[in-house]
A = this chain, B = another copy of it.
Amino acid sequence: MKVTVHIERRPEIADPEGTTISRSLVDLGYDEVVSVRTGRTLHLEVEGDDADAVKERVDEMCQRLLANPVIEDYRIEVEA
């Protein structure tokens, strides 16, 4: 089963990388760019056939290892 985890930094936490990217886009002439925030995705291939059960396990993985709840939020998407 294919599972995608989207990890974002919580909005109140600074994102210097996003700020730097945004600034360089403007420098390159894309001055319509207002802001950039960076995120990560993890594409997991997981054995199992019960989508709910898989999602629950992945949620546990996120809490334990994949995301850092102190500064990040995450969202899990299980593909058909």
> Which of chain B's residues have a CB closer than 8 A to the CB of A36?
42-45
Q: State which residues 33-66 of A face B: CB under 8 Å.
A: 33-48, 54, 57, 61, 64-66
Question: Within the complex, which residue of B8, B24, B25, B65 is in contact with A25, where a contact is CB–CB below 8 Å?
Answer: B65
Number of contacting residues on A, CB 8 A? 32
Q: How far is the CB of A15 from chain B (nearest CB, A)?
A: 10
> Which of chain B's residues have a CB closer than 8 A to the CB of A44?
22, 33-36
Contact A46 B28 (CB under 8 A): no
- In the bound assembly, the distance between CA atoms of A44 and B19 in angstroms comes to 11
Contact A39 B46 (CB under 8 A): no
Across chains A and B, which 7 residue pairs bring their CB atoms closest together, nearest first? Answer: A39-B41, A34-B45, A32-B47, A37-B43, A35-B45, A32-B46, A36-B44
